[in-house]
Amino acid sequence: MVTRSGIGYDVHRLVDGRRLILGGVDIPHAKGLDGHSDADVLCHAIADAVLGALGQPDIGYYFPPTDPSIEGISSIEILRKVAGIVSEKQAEIINLDATLIAEAPKILPHVQEMKANIASALGVRADQVGIKATTNEGMGFVGRDEGMAAMATASVAV
């Protein structure tokens, strides 16, 4: 088997009237992320990293924002679909590492639950999933609390 890596990135606006879902965890916050799905930037970046390692199209290909049948879909379900693609390709996820970029809320209290959710959806162990968070030190759209971003890498054996 050969080890391949992929990179994922996602960003969503913060808006009133939506729940904040990150890593499949509903986190109390004044605003939530806007999107066709639950807008979980962390899961979306991870999905794209895994798909990239497999040489596949991004999640927009599999879950187009123009498809009304998937409006509001849980990003954990997106990860389950990605796990199915990994299996179809007879590949294996070695590890994932992701960073959430947001001014608030604090992520550390939710990291273990996020890791468990993501690991379960992808069929890996929680210790194969790294999740960190940082701020943008008040700079840019993230710093102004207008949105959140996430970056991820994946190593996959194919």
CATH number at residue 108: 3.30.1330.50
Distance CA(113)–CA(101), nearest Å, equals 18
- Per-residue pLDDT in tens (0 to 9) along the chain, 158 residues: 899 999 999 999 999 999 999 999 999 999 999 999 999 999 999 999 999 999 999 999 999 999 999 999 999 999 999 999 999 999 999 999 999 999 999 999 999 999 999 999 999 999 999 999 999 999 999 999 999 999 999 999 99
Distance CA(42)–CA(105), nearest Å, equals 14
Backbone φ/ψ region at 7: left (φ over 0), alpha (ψ -120 to 50), beta = beta
Q: Are 70 and 77 in contact (CB under 8 A)?
A: no
Structural domain range at position 41: 3-157
**pLDDT score for 43:** 98
Distance CA(49)–CA(46), nearest Å, equals 5
Q: Count structural domains, the chain.
A: 1
Largest CA distance in the chain: 47
**pLDDT score for 1:** 87
